[in-house]
Amino acid sequence: MSTIFSSRLADWCLLVRIILSAKCLNLFTIYLTDYRADPVDETGGDTLFLHSLIQVIVDEQNLDFLLAYTISAIQQCSSWTHMAILQALAALVYCNGSKCQKYLPDLVGKTGLLMKLSDPAQSDPEVRRAAVHCMANLCLSVPGQPYLDEPYQSICFQTFLTTLQSPKLSDMDDITFCMLLQNALKGIQSLLNSGKMKLTLTEELGALLAVLKKAMFHGLPGLNIEIPTVLYPTLLPQYDGRPPAKPQQSESCASRPTVNKKKKAKVKPKKVHQGEEEEEESSGEIEAAPATGRVHLRKGNTQCPSSPGVKSLPLDGSGAAGKDRVSLPFGSASWKRVSSSESDYSDAEGGMQSKMRSYQAKVRQGALACFLSTIKSIEKKILYGYWSAFVPDTPELGSPQSVSLMTLTLKDPSPKTRACALQVLSAILEGSKQFLSVAEDTSDHRRAFTPFSVMIASSVRELHRSLLLALVAESSSQTLTQIIKCLANLVSNAPYNRLKLSLLTKVWNQIKPYIRHKDVNVRVSSLTLLGAIVSTHAPFPEVQLLLQQPCSSGLSNSSSATPHLSLPDWWKKAPSGSSLEETTINSPRSSSEPCWLVRLCISLVVLPKEDSCSGSEAGSATGSTYEPSPMRLEALQVLAHLARGYFSMAQVYLMELGEVICKCMGEADPSIQLHGAKLLEELGTGLIQQYKPDSTIAPDQRVPVLLVVTFWTMMLNGPLPRALQNSEHPTLQASACDALSSILPEAFSVLPNDRQILCITLLLGLNDNKNRLVKAATSRALGVYVLFPCLRQDVIFVADTANAILMSLQDKSLNVRAKAAWSLGNLTDTLIINMETPDPSFQEEFSGLLLLEMLRSAIEASKDKDKVKSNAVRALGNLLHFLQPSHIENPRFTAIIEEAIQALISTILVEAAMKVRWNACYALGNVFKNPALPLGTASWTSQAYNALTSVVTSCKNFKVRITSATALSIPGKRGQYGSTEQYTRIWNALVTAFQKSEDTTDFLEFKYCASLRTQICQALIHLLSLARASDLPCIKEALEQDGNMVRSYILQFLKSGAEGDDIGTPHSSQERDQMVKAALEHIGSVQALAGDTAKRAIMGYLEDILTVHLDSAGSQVALLGLTQR
């Protein structure tokens, strides 16, 4: 009976495949019901293969019944049916793990079926593989659906880990073992991709990384590695006991690869299917078999025995951090990528060998994909503890190099595996700037030990060398693209300012020929790499020299290993055309040699494509005469990088770049238009930087204002206004707004009147736009324009801008409100600037009602998020400073003034972002500058001073303390400090601030200690210069308690005056001396009360300080004179 039932069950499993393929779920349910009633059927069955099935979404009721039936079948039927049942079970649980909660104890509990069948002791290897496959499908989840519970995740993870750690049994063939490893890797990857699996334990993560590293090299020809069970994080490489390798020849004799014209599909993460990938191998895993046209690195002929980038792997070794033991049974030659003509096996053997190598390559690819998921699921600071296990390092003299991701990149015969390894390396390098910033090798290392900084620098150098060698050796376009992208990631994160020169030069010279590669993706990634070079540490002297190289330098190479780059003749010419002649005549002096990269990018954007680069034109429109869109976009980005970091070179081409921008913004492609607008913004920003007051650019090296006017006139007469009004593409509108805000103020004032009106009208009109991106960009642009000298005294424009900004402050978008608050702060800065002009007409004409509305809006904004609040309190301080006596006396302003000051006080005291509190303290100091406000007599006076004294003594941020101490020293009259009690509290708080000037747990705050003490000294001296007779006793009492400490800090304050390195303090010692002398004279002029000795004591105290200081200064002058003689 059991045999009959088992045979019938096999038929049932076969029917599962048919029904699942046909998606006849109702018929399936009916059949199962009938089958359960009459299970006897003596017809034979076949094994079920589900790898090519179409997934059926099974509802929970049917899934519940099917799972119960399948589990009972495994428990009751003969073992020969288990394989078919497990395959059916794999199809049922695929992406249904969260719906199988009821049966999880029976499947993956401690005594669950899958746990037993997947045990390494399982006699049938196929059943074991099928059980692991079921478990992997059970762990696979769909985004948006629940995941497996934590306990079952851990059980499955440990099962997969054990499977990967277990050696291949003698009765298991190689292909089955590869499939078993693939299933285990897919299972771990599914758990990690769910986002719920956290690798928090060092042992757990170390064990996973160890098996992944082992699987990464599975079946790699000529390599057998032994890896510890667990990898532990380490900073320094552990002892390597491998014998020294033979000396290597120089890099110059590296062999040249032949060009492989074979194209492969893009490397993309594979979607996990419900079945396994057994039959995919028959379609031809091209990269698994040794490919023709690969690099021949053999002895003899003109090729060198070994290349520095293709070093023989070490024979044996040990270590826990990735220093692996390697066995090379065939010698170093077996590691080289061989061609099919060098195959040592017959055609029949070759077919089996090719199939097995294909499976082994899939294991390596699965391990790399799993490693990529691991990287994404752990913190980078944890990952970098295992840096030395996966990233190459320069080997010690006489020692071979350990295996790493670069080993796969240089040695693996499969282009897909090489690309996967590069993707993993890119993921490790991405965001590594802080970790790599410690690297340093600018000086020769001659210590007895290797510092961590030197070790990381060595690793960075080796990465450059290995990737450049891989670049020359690679023939697959897809893998070549990944190499260049990996180089771009490395360049973006490496600290070249702390490394020896020439690294960027080597990358630069190697990548230039690939700009004309036949594959468009290679060309695009080459431009990306060049963009990364010109944007790293810009302006960087080494890159500046590279940009000044002759046009033809390094752009062609006779070697067949790299593509030949033929340059158009005009590249070697200076800028031409009428506008370019004007540029040359009127532009500042520069090198006569044009920047070849600027010329290249311009040609890629505006010139027709060349026939030699017409292959693989992905992304280009049919019949397009220009380069493919991705190529043009990348060229525009490189131009933007050059304008940002090396404006002195880009400015020579200002008018030509203007023509490029006009052409781009006039095209139909919104992406091209957008990048043209971005380039315009960068050029405008570069021009503004040249004319800033603190600019170090000599006046004769700046772009003349008249040329800037010509440039912007061309923009405003071109497609820029149309882009600003293109409502179909709001992103383009926003970018055009940003570009329009980057106009040079000096040039704007010279523009024709109609062009000025056009700019203002466009911006004010766009402020009503419903799109939040456009509205935010418009608010910011208005905040820039309101500071222009030619506009800030225009009452009508300022009022219109104020109304537009107040409207934006009510927007639902936080980004819009933040930009509007920033613009409101700028507008109020304009009000303060106008106060300082001799002409009072602006203050008289500015609407009081608008001022009242601005105060109300700023008060409301001060209760918003920190992004809005920081500028809202800045605006409040300026508005309260701007108020005229007529406003303050107006009853309508009384309540709003009180509310505004209370808003500032509460912002100072609340635990907000430090930037917000700093701005609030600064704003309160601005309030104190308005002599019309009743400071000292108003009810809010004590609250304001108490808030500042609280911050100056207890705030964690020293910048906030400095600003509060500055605010306390602003009032210019003694009456503004209030009563004697209030004055005493302020004095005592400043003395306490002296005592706490070094109390901080944040090391970064210590650099502000000196500035804080300097500001406190100024505040105390200022208080002394305003003191009344009634204040003197409290000052005397405080000096009796802490006089020695105060004296030492004041002497330090006077002594450091000559250096002038403290922010916000007088730069000369005479000015500081004068401050103390003025305070002494004031105390001497105070009419002391009868019998009061405080005056005499304070004067003696100040005289003693001056005497000590002058004696010290005199001795220093005498010593300086002796030194000079």
Q: DSSP string spanning 619-678?
A: TPPTT--BPPHHHHHHHHHHHHHHHHH-HHHHGGGHHHHHHHHHHHHTSS-HHHHHHHHH
Determine the pLDDT at residue 912: 80
User: Residue 1030: CB partners within 8 Å, gap ≥ 6?
Assistant: 980, 1089
Handedness of CA 830, 831, 836, 841 (dihedral sign): positive
What is the Cα–Cα distance from 980 to 974, expressed in whole angstroms? Answer: 10
Q: Angle 477-493/415-429 helices, nearest 10 degrees?
A: 10
> Encoding tokens for residue 1099?
């004067």
* The pLDDT of residue 11 is above 80: no
Q: With 70 as the cut, is the pLDDT of residue 39 above it?
A: no
In this predicted model, what pLDDT tens digit does every residue of 489-508 receive, in sequence order? 999 999 999 999 899 999 99
In the DSSP assignment, the letter for residue 327 is E
How many whole angstroms separate alpha carbon 599 and alpha carbon 480?
A: 25
Scanning the structure block, which residue is given the tokens 């003034």?
897
Taking Cα atoms as reference points, which of 723, 591, 589, 704 lies closest to residue 665?
Answer: 723
Comparing 17-21, 146-150, 290-294, 721-725, which segment has the lowest mean pLDDT?
A: 290-294
Q: What is the gyration radius of the CA atoms in the chain, in angstroms? A: 38
Of 233-237, 516-520, 1028-1032, the least confident:
233-237
Please tell me the least confidently modeled range out of 178-182, 197-201, 293-297, 631-635.
293-297
Residue 46 pLDDT > 50, yes or no?
no
Mean pLDDT of the chain: 79
Read off the pLDDT of each residue in 195-219 and give the average, rounded to a whole number. 85
- Cβ count within 10 A of residue 147: 18
CB 92 within 8 A of CB 58: yes
Distance CA 288, CA 700 (A): 63
Torsion sign across C-alpha atoms 77, 83, 85, 90: positive
Q: What is the pLDDT of residue 345?
A: 41
The residue-averaged pLDDT of 784-812 equals 95
- Output the CA angle 224-290-410, nearest 5 degrees: 60
Half-sphere exposure of 596 (CA within 13 A, CB side): 21
pLDDT band (50, 70, 90) for residue 154: confident
Closest CA to 275 of 518, 530, 88, 538: 88
User: In angstroms, rounded to a whole number, what is the distance separating the alpha carbons of residues 1053 and 1019?
Assistant: 12
* Cα 283 from chain centre: 41
Task: Pick the most confident of 305-309, 758-762, 1040-1044.
Answer: 758-762
Structure tokens at 158: 């440990």
Pairing of strands 224-226, 325-327: antiparallel
Of residues 547 and 287, more confidence is placed in 547
Q: Which of 449-463, 700-714, 896-910 has the lowest average pLDDT? A: 449-463
Question: What does the pLDDT read at residue 666?
Answer: 92
- C-alpha to C-alpha distance for 5 and 43, rounded to whole angstroms: 10
Spatial separation of the C-alpha atoms in residues 887 and 897, rounded to whole Å: 10
What is the pLDDT, as a whole number, of residue 654? Answer: 95
User: What's the whole-number mean pLDDT along residues 117-141?
Assistant: 88
What's the pTM value of the predicted model, to 2 decimals? 0.79
φ, ψ of residue 327 to 5 degrees: the values are -115, 130
Phi, psi values for residue 24, rounded to 5°: -95, 75
Tell me what pLDDT residue 14 has. Answer: 52
- pLDDT per residue as tens digits for the range 75-95: 888 888 888 888 888 888 888
SS3 226: strand
Number of helices and strands (H, E) in the chain?
48, 2
Give the integer Cα–Cα distance in Å for 76 and 82. 10
The per-residue pLDDT for 1001 is: 66
Choice among 287-291, 641-645, 780-784, 1071-1075 with the minimum mean pLDDT = 287-291
Tokens matching residue 153: 């995740």
pLDDT score for 1016: 93
* 3-class SS of residue 19: helix
Over residues 612-637, mean pLDDT = 71
pLDDT on residue 977: 94
1077-1102 residue pLDDT tens: 999 999 988 887 766 788 889 999 99
Among 32-46, 212-226, 1005-1019, the range scoring the smallest mean pLDDT is 32-46
Query: What backbone phi and psi angles, to 5 degrees, belong to 54?
Result: -90, 130
Res. 222: pLDDT tops 80: no
Q: Given this model, what pLDDT does residue 979 score?
A: 93
Residue with tokens 């403290």: 1062
Taking the C-alpha atoms of residue 214 and residue 223, their distance in angstroms, rounded to an integer, is 11
